[in-house]
Amino acid sequence: MTKPPKKRSSTGGTKSSLPNIADRGIPNGQSAASGSVASSTGLLSNIPFSHPTASNVFGVGAEHPFANYWTCEGGLPEVISVLPEKLQADILLSQYFECVDPVYPMVHKQTFYNQYDRFWLLKDSGQCDASFVALLFVMLALGTQFVSTTNPRDRKQTAEFYASAGNQSLRMSSYLSTASIHSVQAMVLLCYFLINDNHASDGWAFAGIIMRQAYAMGLHRDPNIGRLGKMMS
């Protein structure tokens, strides 16, 4: 199984915590009358929830879900270079369609494999679609989660590595401003992966992006409605 490279360490000093002005008490020497506004229960002064602390929605997945293995200059070719051999990729995809697709039928199998075969012919030409690469890596990540021939630690590490490659490919496709069917499929499956990987909070937040992208593409509309209108006119 593919062994992920070492994670890139992030540098930088620790950030100083800035005080929240809403949490300050009444200054010394100030009368209760003059401080009545500051101590009002209608403001944030006496409300414990005003402290600027992060909230973990589901209580799991405290660390960042996507480890950083990538350089600033590598781009999509750097991500494609970490693909497993085609034989291994075929095995992982077989696991995906056997274990994941029956539960989450997000990808049309025959259409995907036609694009997959074409991808292997063009992967070194610089003409690859970044959103398809993202979809491929996320499917590999999900397939890896169901491989039983490796120990759980290696399986988890390799799956997270492929998920990180999928996330990086989405970034290369500018998925926040340019949506496509492949990018939406990749994001939905990535959301499922995060939930399966004990990152339910991150998956929940990621789902909000997916819904907005789907709305932007009009995927919430019934295609038959527009078709019937054209037939009647």
Tens-binned pLDDT, residue by residue, of the chain (233 aa): 676 776 665 444 444 444 443 344 444 544 444 444 444 444 444 545 555 566 666 656 556 677 778 888 889 999 999 999 999 999 999 999 999 999 989 999 999 999 999 999 988 887 899 999 999 999 999 999 999 888 889 999 999 999 999 999 999 999 888 889 999 999 999 999 998 888 888 888 888 888 888 888 888 888 787 665 555 55
Separation CA 151–CA 171 (nearest Å): 31
Structure tokens at 210: 């997916």
pLDDT attached to residue 214: 86
* Residue spans per domain, the chain: 75-223
Contact (Cβ atoms closer than 8 angstroms) between residue 163 and residue 190: yes
